[in-house]
A and B are shown apart, each in its own frame.
Chain A
């Protein structure tokens, strides 16, 4: 029975690392601009779909299709900031959030309408070998170890970037007070642009990994965006470490929930725990932080 529990644990980490990757993207933009970018799920979807397009239709090898797709989605992120967010810069944060919701619907609609192979689900091959490894009687697929590893590496990278470098200081300064940051020579627009580009790139990485271990389709950004948002909320929306822990926690909840309670109720189960968590957390936090 122990091997069973270990298997649930590993499965939870594997599901959760995908959510964590999506959540990381949320935190980057939120840390810098205060915006919750609801188009984050679409970045994830685009990453997988563009990589599939390059791999399957252009015939590029996976190692070339993946970075090209990340670059393409980064451009989409930058365009979103330049076109939609910057031109509405006088608007309140809430309006900007609504703009990101609109952008997500637009991106999803365009992909659904014009994607060359219709709206079917597609997949990429594994990045790693096909054979699972055995760990204390539980099966571990190397692809899933890879995803977990990449998630943690990106978390550390972005955490260090934001907390240890001059660029990171400038980025955080924009979030605290845009005008004051401008006075000391920080270009707030450039910082906002950077955050959207970085979040889009992160999302694309997640999307490619998901397309490779599961499937992707024009509308898969909805569910992943939602789960990533929940994970980011659990981590407080501005903390990279929190986002990853939130994502892994959500994955573990779903896995153990499906295993021990009921797979029919796993979604309801993880969402109720999430709500409870938010209620408890909101009570504990000082009011100023909750307002974000």
Chain B
């Protein structure tokens, strides 16, 4: 008898508690100025951790855009709400956060994450949950094979396009033999595979294929080995700080052949970390870095100049970079879709796949299709050379 009473009391208590929590929650919810339900979009970026040079501008970009869009009355009168989580550059953390976005926050679409490794880890999760993901990471594998990537899109230019641009540059400067020095994980590893596969098509031979660890503090040994070959240029593939150390070590070693990098170093952190050694380094990057130098007829010019101006007004001169641009493009696509199809995950996906055409973003002009979930052509890149600590366009 006593037991039963105890049970009844505990059940009642629980009911009361739950009721309290529920009402508490409703009260805690922000009073929406617009009468319509807010549209919730999720975002995961590597705001901290070793990929923070990518994730931080992405988060800042999203916050800025949400402010701008809501100041103009939101999306069709619905307030835009973007829930941003920090993955701490950790793949496991990223997957957990995305599950949270899907199950607890009930978002309509997800943008990010910042790195290729994290994005690849999410493919299964978003496919099972049937929610569109627009990644801000570069690897082509994120959207290929496209029949296994029904729910996944990405905005950054693929490695393949960057390599095509580099190959053109090598041909133009008469370089026939190159040495590779690539990060053994993530972005560096996929880049290395693509380089080895694609460079021979342009008549360029790979004479050395060296690796470095993401956390290594000295790459002189690899550079010494490369110095002993007949390579006419060295191609480095990775994100900071590795490439900056390589530039420093190469200078210490007195290596004089040109150093070409990937678009993974298109931020000020590289110049800051490498110091003087950054000068002379060449890399392909989105047009954002040279927005003001573009011809007025360039379809991207307006969006690039506006984005750069808005971002730098808010966060300081010289802070805008292509990584924030990738988040800009991703959120713009989702917002465009929301405007037309409303809060329906499947329709948002369909819209991005079929209706994002001649879409001038910061990364290029997007033409999505069921066969191409990136939608960028080769013109998305320009070659940049660092001189006196500044980016200059190699026309």
Contacts and interface: CB of A to CB of B under 8 A. Distances in A.
Interface in B183-207: 184
Interface string A1-45: 100100110011011001000000000000000000000000000
A234 B133 CA distance: 49
Contact of A120 (B52, B184, B251, B254): B52
A103 interface: no
Contacts of A58: none
Contacts of B241: 121, 123, 214-215, 217
Given A123-B244, A263-B222, 8 more contacts: A15-B217, A118-B48, A119-B89, A121-B50, A215-B245, A263-B210, A263-B225, A267-B213
B269 A11 contact: no
A112 interface: yes
B217 A210 contact: yes
B211 A264 contact: yes
Contacts of B251: 130
B240 A121 contact: yes
A119 B217 contact: no
Nearest to B274: A123
Contact of B244 (A215, A222, A259): A215
Contacts of A264: 184, 210-211
A139 B224 CA distance: 10
A151 interface: no
B275 interface: yes
A243 B244 CA distance: 30
Interface string B43-58: 0000111101100100
A267 to B, nearest CB: 6
Given A7-B224, A14-B220, A139-B252, A263 B244 contact: no
B253 interface: yes
Given A8-B224, A118-B52, A263-B225, A15 B273 contact: no
A217 B50 contact: yes
B381 interface: no
Contact of B221 (A112, A125, A254): A254
Contacts of A177: none
B228 interface: yes
A118 B46 CA distance: 11
Contacts of B212: 263
Nearest to B269: A120
B221 A121 contact: no
A130 B56 CA distance: 32
B172 interface: no
Contacts of B253: 7, 132, 139
B218 interface: yes
Contact of A15 (B218, B225, B244, B269): B218
A141 interface: yes
A255 interface: yes
Contacts of A122: 273
Interface of A: 1, 4, 7-8, 11-12, 14-15, 18, 112, 118-123, 125, 130, 132, 139, 141, 144, 210, 213-215, 217, 219-220, 222-224, 254-256, 258-259, 262-264, 266-267
Nearest to A141: B252
Nearest to B244: A215
Nearest to B189: A264
Contacts of A18: 217
Contacts of B276: 130
Interface of B: 47-50, 52-53, 56, 89, 184, 210-213, 215, 217-218, 220-222, 224-225, 227-228, 240-241, 244-245, 248, 251-254, 269, 272-273, 275-276
A266 B220 CA distance: 13
28 contacts: A8-B221, A8-B224, A11-B221, A11-B224, A15-B217, A15-B221, A119-B48, A120-B52, A121-B240, A121-B269, A121-B273, A122-B273, A123-B241, A125-B275, A132-B252, A132-B254, A139-B253, A214-B217, A214-B245, A214-B248, A217-B50, A217-B241, A220-B217, A255-B221, A259-B224, A263-B212, A263-B225, A264-B211
Contacts of B211: 262-264
A255 B224 CA distance: 10
Given A132-B252, A259-B221, A1 B275 contact: no
Nearest to A15: B218
Nearest to B181: A263
Nearest to B47: A118
Contacts of A15: 217-218, 220-221
Contacts of A1: 228
A220 to B, nearest CB: 7
Nearest to B48: A119
B100 to A, nearest CB: 20
A119 B52 contact: yes
A256 B221 CA distance: 7
Contacts of A125: 275
Contact of A258 (B47, B225, B272, B273): B225
Given A4-B224, A118-B48, A11 B273 contact: no
Of residues A121, A132, A144, which shows the largest number of chain B Cβ atoms within 10 Å of its Cβ? Answer: A121
A167 B252 CA distance: 42
B182 to A, nearest CB: 9
Contact of A139 (B49, B215, B254): B254
A15 B223 CA distance: 14
Contacts of A220: 215, 217
A5 B253 CA distance: 14
Contacts of A256: 221
A220 B245 CA distance: 14
A220 B49 CA distance: 11
B89 to A, nearest CB: 8
B220 A11 contact: yes
A256 B224 CA distance: 10
A263 B242 CA distance: 14
